[in-house]
Amino acid sequence: MTAGTTFSDILTALAQGWEGRRVDEPVLSVALPIKGVDPLCQVPLLAENEKFRFLWDGSPGRCLAASGRCQYLELSGPRRFELAQRFSDAALGRLVDVAPEAPSSASPRILLAFSFFEQSSERQRVKGLTPAVQAVLPRWQLSRQGHQCWLRLTAVATHEAEVRELAEEVWLMSKRLAQKSEPKERVAIHMSSGLTFPQQWQDCYRPALIRGIQLVNQGILDKLVLAVRQSIWLKAPLDPLSILSRLRVQQPGSRRFLWQRNEDEAFFGASPERLLSLRNGQLQIDALAGTATREDDGYLLLRSDKDLREHELVVSSITNQLINQGLQPRRARRPQLARHGKLLHLHTPITAVASKNPPLSLVEALHPTPAVAGFPRREAISWLRTLEPFERGNYAAPIGWIDNSGNAEFRVAIRCGNVRGNELELTAGAGLVRGSIAERELQEVGLKLAVLADQLDLQSRRSVNRVIT
């Protein structure tokens, strides 16, 4: 399809795809270019009749929105990465793409969200299960790369008459997207007055924090990343898209994401940490550990023995995991500084050639990194189960996508929140190593929680009624 694509062109392409099908009920996928629109702003229209919606936002010119489920997988328990890879391969292998000329940024994708633990605890089963993996081949995709914007519809065709229905559906949606003006409230940035957290979360977090520091100082663990969860009750339901729109300006180096299973439940955030990206067999990973406020211009952070040790532990662990996968990773000799809002992090890029490695086998090998769990991995995870009084769910777990060319991108889901009705849950953690000081870690966690909390306008209808830890 090209800029001059007509309805007849779409119908002909879909009909040829139906005629060339290899199974009785093929999955047909058609894509066509539309005038440059911002996918973030068009999520409500794209998902107007769909429960599931997704956003993957790097900038206004590099963004993916999706909605609806053409095919999906949800499960818990062991072998989740292997089974998710099989589902992805099968779903994409069955798909008949009738728009092969579409750019790679508009390729059909499997969207994936994992939970931190493969098996939920008893307390999570009582509250409600977060699947260990959710994999979705979306019905609608709206992608933008630079000035190129493409709309894709993917659906199962059970009989020939549905081919014309699909052509009409994608044609009408393209016209609606091109004509609909972008809502001003979605793109305007209104600086929030900020949210000051009460001390309850610090009071509850401090005992676990002190115990964690004891574990690393005694040499029982080399590192432990303890998290805290803050529950905020709002006067009205929160629209995550409004927060994500603001974070484009305030956290430009992050990847903003939204995973919304239904109208009442959404997981969203602005992650600065790339677990991996895989493009044309080239693997890129961000090792991100060691944190300071922007009052430090980086001089102290780059000379902090505690932060440098914490960072090197993460880098070494990632490179060792890649070596175990048969790869030859390359890394920078010294960490760089990465600025994300009010925080500075030590950052080391790691690269490798990984043309023969299935994306999710690499995700499985890397998750969880010491940046979000600790080291040694097994012992650290056991202590997290003991010291954290809540289920992590999707927090600090992989979220991202795989396309039909084997390309993939996954982020570590941090700087994130869960919305369930009028309840907003924020989660953040601190990496503890030998030499960690409780007061400094408390300050760091407070700043991480504030990445999303500062977007709440206390004077608006979304103001806070009460806070529960």
Nearest to 223 by CA among 357, 118, 93, 316: 316
* Beta-strand pair 408-412/53-59: unpaired
Three-state DSSP at 13 gives: helix
273 an active-site residue?
Answer: yes
Tell me the Cα Rg of the chain.
22
Euclidean distance between CA atoms 346 and 337, whole angstroms: 5
- Tally of helices (H runs) and strands (E runs) in the chain: 12, 21
Q: What are the structure tokens assigned to 324, written together?
A: 């175990």
Candidates 223, 310, 364, 425; catalytic one: 223
DSSP E strands, 60-103? 62-75, 95-97
381/404 Cα distance (integer angstroms) = 33
Say if residues 137 and 91 touch (Cβ distance below 8 Å).
yes
Question: Are the C-beta atoms of residues 162 and 90 closer than 8 Å to each other?
Answer: no
Instruction: Kindly give, in sequence order, each residue whose CB lies less than 8 Å from that of residue 106, ignoring residues fewer than 6 positions away.
Output: 31, 99, 141, 143, 145, 148, 150, 152
Preceding amide of 368 cis, omega within 30: yes
Select which of 273, 391, 425, 444 is catalytic.
273
Q: Which string of b and e fits 407-441 if b means at least 16 CB within 10 Å? A: bbbbbbbbbbbbbeeeebbbbbbbbbbbebebeeb
Place of tokens 């800029």: 3
Closest by CA to 441, choosing from 209, 201, 197, is 209
CB 349 within 8 A of CB 285: yes
DSSP 223-284: EEEEEEEEEEEESS---HHHHHHHHHHH-TTSEEEEEEEETTEEEEEEE--EEEEEETTEEE
Is there a catalytic annotation at residue 101?
no
Q: CA–CA separation, 384 vs 203, rounded Å? A: 18
Amino acid at 441: E
The enclosing H or E element of 288 equals strand 282-293
- Which residues are catalytic, by number? 223, 273
